[in-house]
Amino acid sequence: MSQWLRYGGLLLGLTVGMAAHAQAPLAATPTASDTLRLTLPEAEARFVQNNLQVLAQRYNITQQQALAVQARLIDNPTITLDQNALQQAIHRQGAVGDNPDLRRNQVAIQAQQLFALAGRRKAAGRAQQQAAVVEQFNLEDLVRNLRFQLRTTFYDIHYRRQTLRVYDTEIPQLRKTVDLYQSQFEKGNIALKEVIRLKAFLFTLETERVGLITDQANSQADLHILLRDSTNAVYRPVVNSDRVRDLSLNAFPEQQLIDTALVRRADLLSRQAEVQRQQLNLRLQKAVATPDLAVGYSYDRLGSYFDNYNSITLGVAVPIFNRNQGNIAAAKAQIGQAQAQAAEQQLTVRRDVHEAYQVAQRQDDLYQHTSRDTTPFSRLIDNIEQGYTKRLITIVEYLDFYEAYKNNVLQLNTLRANRMRAFENVNLAVGRVLLKAE
């Protein structure tokens, strides 16, 4: 009696838990009107044009280029006018007759121009222009990483759609079986434990499907952000299965990919450009050690020992105490630091390519030696349903087949997605899209 009470309580809990699913069986599936077909080349074209992170980085380049222009500009001249207003007023009050000396006002004018010596402005412009080159490589590295995210998200969405098809096929079919056996239980023809096991398995499938739909929604959100799309459309990736199947590393030896990465990886090029920028900064600091020359002209109307005094002035700071030695030493240290970082990045690039290549080889070998034909399961599903209905097989065999069919398709789609992610990781490590199926 206690066993029947336990079965009844479990059945009641499963029935309540599944009621919400029964009201809207597949409501989470996007409708056809909300779905947009999208190829990978179309996605990449929209990404390059619209992605906000890419646009923001482009402003950094523009900013550094503007600063390079500013660094080359000549200093503005300085003009000073000095007039004695009090003396002017006194002369006006004391003006007698037509005495011209009492009508004259004191005026002094000075003009000065600063000239940078030792090519300081040119050195500053080159250093700042190299900073723009560094930002350009930073942009390329940003695009490299975001393109990897875009391409992997694209394939993840595609293969998750394939997996969801299994649930969308199994769940309605299993619901019919549950309803049939529920009615048979109510008539007293079958045991309660069979209905409970069927409903438990159905609940498991529906829970797994909800988890997949949540992951799919997150991937769709990532894709919308990458493409700068504010609509509620659901993208349906278009993938050429034949080209995906034919992808191979055979045409790309590992050493060739490493050599390509050493000349194409934007993060490594950025480090190398930073070394050049610090070298140019050292030249700038040495140029700053040479004092600037100030050339001026001075005119004084009444303030000197004779009227209408004209003079030319030359001024230069004497480099006795400050020869910019601190900044020069710092610039040399920055060169050493940049060179060490560039050498470390070169090692990182080599390691990245090696690891990505090895992982891609293992994933591709597994894929090539795995049976990718799910047709036998599709043909057997109807026979299994009929066999269970006619009581030719037990419920354990029936559910085992469902579980085996589901796991086979899930693992196959997971393998396909992991294989494409491994190939895309090779593209990321190399810094160039060499392995592509579009």
Amino acid symbol at 67: L
Mean pLDDT of the chain: 85
CA distance 46 to 52: 11
Q: Which residue has the higher pLDDT, 3 or 244?
A: 244
How many degrees, rounded to 5, is the angle at CA 159 between CA 202 and CA 226?
A: 120
CA distance 416 to 419: 5
The verdict on pTM exceeding 0.85 is no
As a CATH number, domain 2-74+119-289+324-430 is 1.20.1600.10
Digit-coded pLDDT (tens) for 126-185: 999 999 999 999 999 999 999 999 999 999 999 999 999 989 988 888 888 888 888 878
Digit-coded pLDDT (tens) for 315-343: 998 989 999 999 999 999 999 999 999 99
Q: What is the dihedral sign for C-alpha 285, 59, 150, 46?
A: negative
Tracing tokens 């934007």 back to the chain, one arrives at 266
Q: For the chain, which residues make up each domain, given as ranges?
A: 2-74+119-289+324-430, 77-115+291-322
Q: Which residue has the higher pLDDT, 82 or 23?
A: 82
Instruction: Assign 369 a pLDDT band (cuts: 50, 70, 90).
Output: confident
Q: Alpha-carbon Rg of the chain, whole angstroms? A: 39
DSSP 13-39: HHHHHHHHHHHSTTTTSPPGGGEEEEE
- Give the DSSP H or E segment for 346: helix 325-368
